[in-house]
Structure 1
Amino acid sequence: MVVSMGFMAPSVAMFFNTPFIAGFAGGAMPLTMLLSFAAVFLVALGFSQLARRTASAGSVYAIVSNAINPRTGFMGMWFFIIGYGIFEAATYSIFASFSSELLERTFGIAVPWIIPFLLVAGLVYTLSVLGVTQSVRAA
């Protein structure tokens, strides 16, 4: 389920980045959104078609290994893991930047961006460890 939620990121990004898209694309924004939707839809369609033929929790590794070869599947999984790491760091950074700016503009409190970054990273880590601990106890 977590991986499925992670794949929703492009759609969510399109929703929250609408003002920035409008600033860059101007009157071509509807076409830009339509083309972006088509690209995301085609990727999702490809994954769904490949997932029908591959029943595995390995996700990218299993799908690419069966579709191409195991070595390519191994590399694909590493790219997938690295991509998630970069996405996570970028998400924390954006949150930290917005939080820092919000605190300064709203309350006049100057907080370096690294503080909210470390707080949210610590919170996610703690919740992840607690979730794993609960799962181990249940098993």
Structure 2
Amino acid sequence: MQVIYLDELRDLTNQSIGLGTLTLVVEPPEQASVKARNLIERSRQVPDEQVRRKLVELIETIIVYKFPHKSQAEIQAMLGLGDLKQTKVYQEGKLEGKLEAVPRLLKLGLTLEQVAEALELDIAEVRKAAR
């Protein structure tokens, strides 16, 4: 079995957005924000909106851990996410993900009101998703 270290994969990161995201973990902080912005830009080419949103969230999470002293607003500004997260496509994808969680949460025994509060949704949206 051959062992491969993340920092040895840097030459392959231009070929795969997944590998690029993975190597972001070992990227030095002074280069991480630039690489993260590039990865987010490349993620816009991913055709599946849910996959694209989850990829951006993963990149953002990695950067949050790399820069624990920065606020969420600073991180989003660093990555240029303010505009992306305000787009209709991103918001619709986020809402779709929340609505998909409704039946599972109800199955766990939460009330409609609890689900609405937990997911920050209107009670009417939760009722509709429960049907």
TM-score normalised by length of structure 1: 0.28
TM-score normalised by length of structure 2: 0.29
Higher relative contact order (CA 8 A, sep 6+): 2
Larger relative helix fraction: 1
Q: Which has the larger radius of gyration?
A: 1
